[in-house]
Amino acid sequence: MKLQKIKLLFLVLFTLTAATKIKAQSTTPAPYCDAHFDDMQGFPVADAIFKVQFGTLVNNTNAQAAEPHYTYYNNLAVPNFVKGTSYNLSLTFDVHGGAGYGVWIDYNHNNIFETTEKVAGSTANTPLDLTSNTIVNQNIAISTTALTGNTRMRVRIVEDDNYTMSNNGYSIMPCNASASVNDVMDWGETEDYVINISTSLDTDQATASKSFQIFPNPVNATLTFDQHFSDRVTYQIINMVGQVMHTGSITLADHQIAVTDLAEGVYYLQLFDQSGKLGQQQFIKSRN
């Protein structure tokens, strides 16, 4: 009887350990390409990804991961995206030298970040601003030809004089060219994520999207919802180039958002609850 209890306890511990390993973030990119950094063999520079926000994905580390500065965040809630729909990508970097960045989504699920799958990044002649709080906003349209299901996304910041001062400039590659000292990037950070791509909003999200309206539209000062929300809802207002102009939360007692300080133009209001994106509505901000 005692032996059976010991075996049972061992089985429970083994199962819990295995489950923890499956859910824990990883420092192994396989089957995707290597993207670590070697700190120039002993001279570290803390070029880092401080925050990634994309749809309902929010990962605010506010620090550089330990060497080799690569993390696969497979332990986060998987955000949902719809083919053909645009979403704002907001990145915050800590930049200490001439660095560029890149973002890739493996739309065809072939375990390779191809040139055509680079959805955002520095151009060859445009490095990131040299600050400890460099924020980049980019409107990303999910490819209409993307395969559906869980999909790998990579975010990378790179500083390497041999690379950036060559013909590549600050147009960053998703991988190290090889494992040799010359091909491993000197400084930076790489983060991988899992996102889910679907053909349409799920039933609950589609219903919620249709169930709320905003007025007046065009609006001058205050947007009003046609209902109160029973759960805590967050929102963001995005302009036509993908910049986040407003963020906030809406409680049970609230059903209005002040937009007086917005410039005249067209915007998108996106609502989120704890389960993900509820939907969005377009509105026009009129002249004050």
Rounded Cα distance, 150 and 40, in Å: 35
Q: What is the pLDDT of residue 18?
A: 36
Same fold, 48-198 and 214-285: yes
Distance linking the first and last C-alpha atoms of the chain: 80
CATH of domain 214-285: 2.60.40.3080
The DSSP letter of residue 30 is T
- Beta strand pairing status for 100-105 and 118-121? antiparallel
Q: Which fold has domain 48-198?
A: Immunoglobulin-like (2.60.40)
Contact call for residues 119 and 101 (beta carbons, < 8 A): no
pLDDT at 37: 94
Domain residues of the chain, as ranges? 48-198, 214-285
Residue 211's pLDDT is 56
Exposure class string for 257-267: b at 16+ Cβ within 10 A, else e: bebeebeeeeb
pLDDT tens, per residue, the chain with 288 residues = 444 434 433 433 333 333 333 345 788 999 999 999 999 878 889 999 999 999 889 999 999 999 999 999 998 888 889 888 888 899 999 999 999 999 999 999 999 999 999 999 999 999 999 999 999 999 899 999 999 999 999 999 999 988 887 778 899 999 998 878 778 999 999 999 999 998 865 544 444 444 578 889 889 999 998 876 766 788 889 887 667 889 888 876 678 899 999 998 888 888 887 766 677 888 889 876
Q: Does the pTM exceed 0.75?
A: no
- d(CA 43, CA 286) in angstroms, rounded, equals 53
pLDDT at 207: 45
Q: What is the predicted pLDDT for the residue at 143?
A: 93
In whole angstroms, what is the distance from residue 269 CA to residue 95 CA?
Answer: 31
